[in-house]
Structure 1
Amino acid sequence: MHADIHLTLHTLRSAELRREAAEFREAAAFREGVAPREGVALRRDRTDLRTRLGWSLVELGLRLVNRPVTRTRTHLA
């Protein structure tokens, strides 16, 4: 991979992580009852909660589906 492409990808990922960290801090402040900064939509926090709950349910379902099957030994007479 060329150095300029690697640097561009790193820059994009860094900006994405900074945005996610800012959203996390704002959501944590909202949960703790601290007034959010100007321009922060409270509806987004509700949507984030729904998204996290949805993905948690998906993860739980996948764990249940992928559970190893325990086979019982049948005795033939």
Structure 2
Amino acid sequence: MHADIHHRLHALTAAELHRAADRSVDLPRTPAPPLRVQIGWRLVELGLRLATPADRRPVTLAA
């Protein structure tokens, strides 16, 4: 591939990535749940692990 073609393709790809990055900045971000909620779900997961018999697969919550 000639250097000028390679440079042009690189410039087009870079421009596309910049546009995608600009679009993603405009998306509303979901705030992380409060620490109290995170700790609560960890305790629920721990309780489920303790309640599950040892010969069964451990229970995990979706992260």
Which one has the bigger helix percentage? 1
Larger Rg: 2
TM-score when scaled to structure 2? 0.44
TM-score when scaled to structure 1? 0.36
